Amino acid sequence: MEQCQALRCALPDNASFSHTTAAALHGLPLSYALEADDRLHVIRPIDAPHLRRANVVGHRAVHARAVTTTHGLPVVGLADTWVDLGELAGRGKPLGLDDAIVIGDACATALEGVEPLNRALARRVRPRGKALLTEALELIRVGSWSPRETQARIMLVRAGLPGPALNRPIPASWNEDLILGYGDLVWEFRLPSGREVRVIGEYQGAEFHSSDEQRAHDAIRRRRFERDGWVVIELWATDLATTQARWSAIRRFATELGVPESSLTLQDTDPHFFSRHAIDEAIARTTAGALGPLEPAP
């Protein structure tokens, strides 16, 4: 922020902070690869002279961006920043598909809807990273409170489990005005067999949930849910760390949600970096290379 404030004194009025700089100023969750870019990104209209300064990446916009003020600085708005980050997707670049979903969740939650992201992407003509952003939109939801919650959710959904409600208040069964707490991932429905499903998935980040005091608080909260008929399944970082750990966690949820293992797509639950479009293109290139040059038609 101090670097941006210092640079602002030397910037023309039509310049705004953009890309990873805008994302950082908005407080969006960035991966280590995106955070590693410590340069300042600035964008100006396409007809403005190119900006050349040390440690500054100058961009020129063909399409207008919504600009807001953050920390007293002109910053590209959340939705347009998410679309701009698509320029950082692809082979050898830092933005992956799951990164776009995590950042998109944070933007959609702040904007109270996914539609602003849809509109921002639709306003651009052939933006870089469009295929990846379009695929990310399929899994972006309002209500996620942390990157790990998002990662846990998309793992479970990709496995074939129904999508949960996010950070839903849980009222007591005997008094709807009494809130027992908020569930990170919440499923509540009735199976065709008549069995009522009431499951809460709780992501327990070590940063906030590893102290003795916090563990005691979590245990009390969990008992409160369970005494009212909820099944609580905790998820830790280790449950997302390896393929076997992910599959084990997914099976626990599938059992409680009444989803048969035969219908699960466990092989699709590893983290996704490339979009389906990028993978299809890579397969096509590999196949074309293996076949060799085509013979000319007689």
Conformation bin of residue 109: beta by default, left when phi > 0, alpha when psi is -120 to 50: alpha
Average pLDDT rounded to a whole number, residues 246-258: 98
For 62-71, write each residue's pLDDT tens digit: 888 999 999 9
Round to whole Å and give the CA distance between 140 and 135. 9
pLDDT at position 285: 81
The pLDDT of residue 201 is 97
Tell me the whole-structure pTM to 2 decimals: 0.91
Share of the chain above pLDDT 70, in %: 95
87-107 burial, b at 16+ Cβ within 10 Å, e below that, comes to bbbbeeebbbbbbbbbbbbbb
pLDDT tens digits, one per residue of 12-25: 889 999 999 999 99
Q: What type of residue sits at position 174?
A: W
Average pLDDT value over all residues in the chain: 92
pLDDT tens, 153-170? 999 999 999 999 999 999
pLDDT in tens, 60-98: 988 889 999 999 999 999 999 999 999 999 889 999 999
